[in-house]
Amino acid sequence: MKKKIAIGFLATLLSFPTSGLFAGPLDGQCIALVHGILGFDDTQGLAGGLVKYWGGLDGYLRSQGAKVTTPGSSATNSIPVRASQIQSSVNTWMTANGCSKVHLMGHSQGGLVIRYMVSNLGFSGKTQTVTTINSLHQGAPMADIVLAAIPSWLQPFANSALGLLAKLVYRDGRPQDAIAMGKSLTVSYVKTFNTNSPNKSGIKYYSYGSQMAWADLIQHPIMALTHPITWAGGLFYGLGGGNDGVVPLNSQKWGAWKGTPSSYWFATGIDHLQATNLAWSGQNFFDVQGWYLNIAKNAKAGL
């Protein structure tokens, strides 16, 4: 008798749609994770999939019930070019996955890309929320410093060399323009960008970010080299010294500022690359999955 009851109970469970029975907190949410400069689609990743821009976060959010895409675009190019590429990819994905609206989440320059899509490319009707992560809403002073160090006559040659390198590394056939990319990150460019790309009414904008405590070569072997430059540039442009190695903390704020993640006691902050768990670089220093789950839950709730 007990065996029959158990079998009947199991049969009843199996009769329910599994998507509803085992749905996570993000059930039914459509999310696009948009990379920044030098980024790529995590469907393929780099180095045969050994390097992932989002460090498995797309898979984790799917495990929580969301539909997630990580669209790729030119690794080095202007905001309008990348926005057009991303929009085309997201449109196709939304149709295939039955998404009428999507939560756009962009990291670094990707934050400006999604803002441009919504404000300038007519994507507002398909956008549920806009969330930026470690983005440069007031520019990245390091870009101004680097471009100032390259004479104008040398820029075309540098652009060709960097473009060729990007084509060899990414091999996706997309156009590359490193100088246009660099200019799109400067303080003056982003100031004009903000004027020409205002927030759309009816859409909620959120921002998150992080910063390093200091130029720690052990935890931040790459960003420790750029942190002092960003610190100096931030002070020069009135953005403050706090930064993630690439973007001043004050430049990361747009719309409703939701703050920075809590890092583990031994960590010296979270840098620009660790903020997306690039190549799984962040998970040892903070609860990156928990942070992104909260980011996604906030977007779902529209708080």
Cα–Cα distance measured from residue 289 to residue 292, given in angstroms and rounded to the nearest whole number: 5
Q: Which of 13-27, 35-49, 107-121, 181-195 has the lowest mean pLDDT?
A: 13-27
Classify residue 264 by its DSSP letter: P
How far is Cα 128 from Cα 61, in angstroms, rounded to an integer? 17
The confidence score (pLDDT) of residue 169 equals 84
* Model confidence pLDDT, tens digit, residues 85-144: 999 999 999 999 999 999 999 999 999 999 999 999 999 999 999 999 999 999 999 999
* Per-residue confidence (pLDDT) for residue 171, from 0 to 100: 82
> Rounded CA gap, 293 and 72, in Å?
22
Each residue's pLDDT tens digit, 182-228: 999 999 999 999 999 999 999 999 999 999 999 999 999 999 999 99
Q: Domains in the chain and their CATH numbers?
A: 30-301 (3.40.50.1820)
Handedness of CA 271, 275, 279, 284 (dihedral sign): positive
Residue 25 tokens, joined:
């907190």
Given the DSSP bridges, would you call strands 102-107 and 67-69 parallel, antiparallel or unpaired?
Answer: unpaired
Q: Which string of DSSP letters, residue by residue, matches 26-81?
A: TTT-EEEEE--TT---TTT-BTTTTB-TTTTHHHHHHHTT-EEE-----SS--HHH
- Cβ proximity of 176 and 163 under 8 Å: yes
Helix pair 79-97, 109-120: axis angle to 10 deg: 70
**51 pLDDT more than 70:** yes
Give yes or no for a contact between 29 and 66, defined as CB atoms under 8 angstroms apart: yes
pLDDT band per the 50, 70, 90 thresholds, residue 152: confident
Q: What is the mean pLDDT of the chain?
A: 92
Rounded CA separation 252/140 (Å):
10
Give dist(CA 178, CA 160) in Å, integer.
Answer: 8
- At residue 141, the pLDDT reads 97
CA distance 32 to 13: 32
Alpha helices in the chain (DSSP H): 2-15, 18-21, 57-63, 79-97, 109-120, 141-148, 155-170, 178-183, 187-196, 223-236, 288-301
What's the predicted TM-score (pTM) here?
Answer: 0.91
pLDDT band at 13 (very low <50, low <70, confident <90, very high): very low
Q: Which residue has the higher pLDDT, 5 or 183?
A: 183
Which DSSP state fits 101?
S
